[in-house]
Amino acid sequence: MKSSIPVEPGPSTIEEEGPPETKDPKAQVIPYDPLQRYLTEINRYPLLNPQEEKELLFQYHKTQDTELAYKLITANLRLVVKIAMDFQRYWMQNLLDLIQEGNIGLMQAIKKFDPFRGIKLSYYASFWIKAYILKFIMDNWKLVKIGTTQAQRKLFYNLKKEKGRLLAMGIDPAPKLLSEKFSVTEREVIEMDQRLGEWELSLDAPISENSGEDHKAFLPDKEPSPEALLSRRELGEILKSKLDYFQKELTPREKEIFNKRILTEDPLTLQELGDHFGVSRERIRQLEEKLLTKVKAYLEKELPDLKADYLYESR
């Protein structure tokens, strides 16, 4: 959301220009630092005392004069820098990125501030500045965006702090405990913790400067090993033979329900089988549950090493 306040070009919108040209290249010894130049520029603008700020706020609220807005914004640019520096532990790249987003938040705060509510501008503006900075970090922290819900944003901002607090109290910051604290799932806590731990790394980047191997070569192979494939095939053959024998003890109706509801990858609905046999869908459900209980007991007896709920998982 962009502010509609037309602000004159000033320190909050300074472009990163190059260093001034000099006739003698050797005369420029100090490296050009855009951040330092920005800090120097904003220090040119005077701060407002509480009375001056209050008067300007009332005048702007009444007139919407852009000149007044400009004075209020430039007087608070140092506040943006201070808040942006607090967020550096989350964004270890160009601090000017955070300052730029914070300046937009400041402009929104000036636009929406109500001087009749008795709240200090710096207190109110800090919320807008933080909101814009935090959104920028979450949108650009990873190639895949994180923190898309209110709960995730709260988790992003407070996870490390809460873990540190628990450790200081001698409590293990387990995912279950943290998930209850932030009202999210354990999986979300684990994923956010992993994402906060490291920056993205290109898989095509070399392992080291002199290495011919890239990171991609060291990714684990998620395909099952030949031994696992052989074991799975043998297990499938054994299971099939046992189920074939099991069906010999079933009635024709039970056998049809077993094959068309339990073993198939595209099962018929309870209503379809009920219509086929001339019974209610509830009766088919009862017969299905009875068959599942029976086949589970049979497999536990015949294949004790097989997980008892294997059939449920494979449906």
The average pLDDT across 20-33 equals 56
pLDDT at 206: 57
206 has which bridge partners?
Answer: 214
Residue 261 has pLDDT above 90, yes or no: no
pLDDT at 74: 94
Residue type, 149: T
For the chain, first and last CA: distance in Å? 48
Helix axes 77-86, 34-42, angle to 10 degrees: 140
214 has which bridge partners?
Answer: 206
Per the listing, tokens 């472009």 go with 15
pLDDT at 125: 92
pLDDT at 117: 87
Helices marked H in 183-307: 186-197, 226-247, 252-257, 270-277, 281-302
Question: pLDDT tens across 265-288, in order?
Answer: 888 898 988 898 899 989 989 999
Residue 308 has pLDDT above 70, yes or no: no
Residue 146 has pLDDT above 60, yes or no: no
The average pLDDT across 53-70 equals 93
Residue 264 has pLDDT above 70, yes or no: yes
Tell which phi-psi region holds residue 78, choosing left (phi > 0), alpha (psi between -120 and 50) or beta. Answer: alpha
Confidence (pTM): 0.43
Domain ranges of the chain: 1-14+32-140, 142-200, 234-314
Domain 234-314 has CATH 2.60.120.590: no
Per the listing, tokens 């209503």 go with 271
pLDDT at 222: 55
Architecture of domain 1-14+32-140: Up-down Bundle (1.20)
Per the listing, tokens 């030949």 go with 226
Average pLDDT value for the chain: 76
Question: pLDDT tens across 72-124, in order?
Answer: 999 999 999 999 988 876 666 778 889 999 999 999 999 999 999 888 899 99
pLDDT at 119: 86
pLDDT bin (cut points 50, 70, 90) of residue 5 is: low
Residue of higher predicted confidence among 38 and 201: 38
pLDDT at 180: 81
Residue 250 has pLDDT above 60, yes or no: yes
